Structure 1
């Protein structure tokens, strides 16, 4: 089994490629909001196949302990259940570079399966290997990044992208246009940005009240837009973050925020009013962003999170599943978050608290709110 050599590096060779979560832009943005990060070049002894990655770290309980996190890394093209051994060895190689109070290293490995059943079977078998080898590597019940998504291919023509959509979705886009819905775009350099982020945040609160979700602070969204424009204006090759707002007769009724890089376009956040939903503004917003992403040069448009299944009309998230899946993308299913404990006793307490928090938000609060 391979061993790993680790070398700290100052900058990335692909600052605007690969997963946006690994870009210097995203990591430095997260550093403005409570995280720290360092970049490494990790080389596998067995085949000298080196890759760079970012490791983020965040303190909890006033610095009593911290969690390290590696998003969308490492990539496994042909994974076997022995990948937990590789995660363990990689964590051991990185451990000397982590803060002394780090209790666990969390991985979101870049492993993609065609069906949720294949993914679930893989995770089940990986747990058996971890137990057999006494590695104590855990598949976390709470995934940091959405493990299930759908990705629309942007490398084909505009007409081909439309043809892959469900016919009703093409109709909804045209309906929205016919009814007079327009889409306006704002970046961090827009003169009226603060006003538009205020509106986005109002719509976000309305959406949260309707769906029982939570969101970031308004300052987080504003800073994300501004920081992207600041970096681009400084001549840095970094992702473009854009705010789209759909309007009808002067009323702003829906909004999304996107991130475009050379490889991918990400639908980061979305919100909509309870009013005029029959005008299908969300369909037009997504289609406008997809066209812009294609022009930018992104290879695919990632809806960034959906239920693993939901075609059955009785499924509780049927509506969300159908909305995203019917844009004609390819559904993907990642393995999810894996934890490598470094301080087992403190980690066990952290996991207990994490489970209680998830139960409170996903069960208790939803029952209190009647959902």
Structure 2
């Protein structure tokens, strides 16, 4: 990043809507139309995702802002999708999933970037319910080492604070689909290529499904949740996601691996613009030696490349190759396909209420239970 310089950037509000809409320039007269995505924004910033979350307890808010450099006069309009979640009318969480995108200041010093980030969150305050606790942001900055990510997180200072828990996984592995299929295969660990071929030779077949496969997926997902100690939504949540496939240019595909008619594993993958994202995965406790999960991923990866996607996001891994981490197996499985590890800052908050400190303390306790106590119980049960 550049050497530190005085902040000359200002944020101004253009307009806001209760439903997603597009933006054009720093002028309301040029606003209009509709789009599922803006630039290279994540699917989490799409109209598709806002509409989906609106059906499951969140209220979407689409906001058009303008970032201006007072020194050069450069203006950068941008839009953010904000999701509001009320908790029994006592308080509200304002959440910006994988946003905001601030390309104009992305290469500025962290202190300046964080000031613009805070100003962006502050600009939302007049639009939010009076009982809002904070604005929570999943900052879309990609770092390729833990040291770089750590330095940025260390630079966070008031009024911003690092959230006690992350909503989206801050660490992930992303596969480059601009390579040829042979190059992607060659970059895998040799054991992964072997397992893909093994599954195929032993009669594992992969079928595509939509909403009609929800019972198979959910049964497998409940087995996975019990085995690994993960949380699951109600079946209708995944059913609704599948039913929305095709809207706003977003495709949701379920892949089911079967052997002799028995469902062994299933995954749900999102295809949106240039990105494919492995959202959910589930597997049976039976016939795990057939390596069906490897063939599932390879099938989805090839489909993503055919669909014109340039990246395949495995969407969540532990930060390091730590054998003591409860999800170490997940790290090995996903990274074995040859992608690049990405480390993001995770969730960052701008507190808006004196009650935020109590909310923060409660989140820490909840996180400790799910990451430590619950995982230990699952490990003991499975041992």
TM-score normalised by L of structure 1: 0.90
Alignment match of 2:54 (pick from 18, 21, 31)? 31
2:270 — aligned with what?
259
1:234 — aligned with what?
none
CA, structure 1 residues 369+187, in 2 after alignment: closer, same or farther (shift >3 Å)? closer
* 1:52 maps onto 2:69 in alignment: no
* 1:156 maps onto 2:156 in alignment: no
Matched residue SS, 1:63: coil
2:259 — aligned with what?
248
- Counting only pairs closer than 5 Å after superposition, residues 1-371 of structure 1 correspond to structure 2 as 1=7, 2-7=9-14, 8=16, 11-12=21-22, 14-16=35-37, 18-46=41-69, 47-60=74-87, 62-75=88-101, 77-82=106-111, 83-124=113-154, 126-127=155-156, 130=157, 135-188=158-211, 193=212, 196-229=213-246, 231=247, 237-310=248-321, 313-343=323-353, 345-371=354-380
Matched residue SS, 1:366: helix
Give the conservation status (yes or no) of the 8 Å contact 2:204–2:292: yes
Higher mean C-alpha displacement, 332-341 vs 162-171: 162-171
Matched residue SS, 1:50: strand
Give the conservation status (yes or no) of the 8 Å contact 2:326–2:375: no
Give the conservation status (yes or no) of the 8 Å contact 1:87–1:340: no
Give the conservation status (yes or no) of the 8 Å contact 2:178–2:310: yes
How much has 1:370 moved relative to structure 2?
Answer: 4.3
Structure 2 Cα separation of the partners of residues 336 and 79 of structure 1: 19
How much has 1:367 moved relative to structure 2?
Answer: 3.5
Give the conservation status (yes or no) of the 8 Å contact 2:227–2:378: no
Structure with higher RCO (Cα < 8 A, 6+ apart) = 1
CA distances 1:69-95 after superposition (whole Å, capped 9, x unpaired): 111112354253212211221122111
Matched residue SS, 2:184: helix
Higher mean C-alpha displacement, 301-310 vs 13-22: 13-22
How much has 1:239 moved relative to structure 2?
Answer: 1.0
Q: Any unmatched runs of 5+ in structure 2?
A: 1-6, 23-33
Structure 1 Cα separation of the partners of residues 310 and 281 of structure 2: 21
Structure 2 Cα separation of the partners of residues 150 and 366 of structure 1: 23
* Count, aligned residues: 349
CA distances 1:85-142 after superposition (whole Å, capped 9, x unpaired): 1122112211111122211000111111111122112211x13xx1xxxx33111121
Matched residue SS, 2:273: coil
